[in-house]
Amino acid sequence: MANTPLTVELSDQWEATVYRQWSFSAELVTRWNGLASAYGDAGVFLTHGAFTCWWDSFGGAAEPLVTVIRHAGEVRGIFPCQLAPGKSSRRELGIRSLTNSESHCFDFLVEEQGRRETLSRFLSTAQRLFPGKGITIDKMPEGGPNTQLFLEVLAARRGCFYDSFTPCAPWLQVPSCASELSGRLSGRLQKTLRQSRKRAQREGHLSLQVVTGSDCLDAVLSEVFDAEYRSWKGRAGTAVKCREDADSFYRALARQAMQEQALLLFLLRLDDRVTAACFCLARGKTLFVLKTGYDEGYRHLTPGILLLEEVLSYCRDQGGFALCDLRGVCEPWKMEWTDKTGSSGVIRVFPASVAGTLEYLTSYGWKLYLKRFRVVRYCLERFRQ
**pLDDT at res. 17:** 98
Sign of CA dihedral 174, 179, 185, 190: positive
Q: Dump the DSSP string for 291-328.
A: EEEE-GGGGGG-HHHHHHHHHHHHIIIII--SEEEE-S
Query: How many C-beta atoms surround the C-beta of residue 13 within 10 A?
Result: 11
**What's the CATH architecture for 171-336?**
3-Layer(aba) Sandwich (3.40)
Secondary structure class of 256 (helix, strand, coil): helix
User: Whole-angstrom Cα distance, residue 172 to residue 341?
Assistant: 8
Q: Return d(Cα 78, Cα 107) in angstroms, integer.
A: 10
Alpha helices in the chain (DSSP H): 26-39, 48-58, 115-129, 147-155, 178-184, 187-203, 217-229, 232-236, 244-259, 303-314, 332-335, 354-370, 374-384
- For the chain, the domains span 6-166+344-352, 171-336
**Per residue in 178-233, pLDDT tens?**
899 999 999 999 999 999 999 999 999 999 999 998 889 999 999 999 999 999 99
Percentage of the chain lying above the pLDDT 90 cut:
84
Q: Is the pLDDT of residue 314 over 70?
A: yes
Q: Whole-angstrom Cα distance, residue 253 to residue 24?
A: 19
Question: Mind listing the pLDDT tens digit for each residue in 320-341?
Answer: 999 999 999 999 999 999 999 9
pLDDT at position 309: 97
- Mean local confidence (pLDDT), 165-186: 94
Question: What's the pLDDT tens digit per position in 29-85?
Answer: 999 999 999 999 999 999 999 999 999 999 988 999 999 999 999 999 999 999 988
Dist. CA 350–CA 357, nearest whole Å: 7
d(CA 268, CA 311): 9
Checking DSSP bridges between strand 273-283 and strand 286-294, what pairing results, if any? antiparallel
Check if the beta carbon of residue 95 is closer than 8 Å to that of residue 130.
yes
Q: Does the pLDDT at position 90 exceed 70?
A: no
Q: What is the pLDDT of residue 158?
A: 87
Residue 90: C-alpha distances to residues 13, 83, 176, 250 (Å):
38, 12, 51, 27
Q: 6-166+344-352 maps to which CATH number?
A: 3.40.630.30
Q: How far is CA 47 from CA 12, 39, 101, 135, 266, in A?
A: 29, 10, 18, 22, 23
Q: What angle do CA 285, 291, 297 make, to 5 degrees?
A: 130
Q: Which amino acid makes up residue 69? A: I
Computed over every residue of the chain, the mean pLDDT equals 92
Check residue 355 and give its pLDDT: 87
Between 4 and 286, residue with greater pLDDT: 286
H or E, element range at 140: strand 135-141
Q: Which residue has the higher pLDDT, 378 or 99?
A: 99
Q: Beta strands 171-173 and 206-211: pairing type?
A: unpaired
What's the pLDDT score for residue 379? 56
Q: Do 6-166+344-352 and 171-336 come out as alike in CATH topology? A: yes
Q: State the pLDDT confidence band at 91, using cuts at 50, 70 and 90.
A: low
More confident residue, 77 or 365: 77
| Cα separation, 230 vs 224, whole angstroms | 10
pLDDT of residue 371: 52
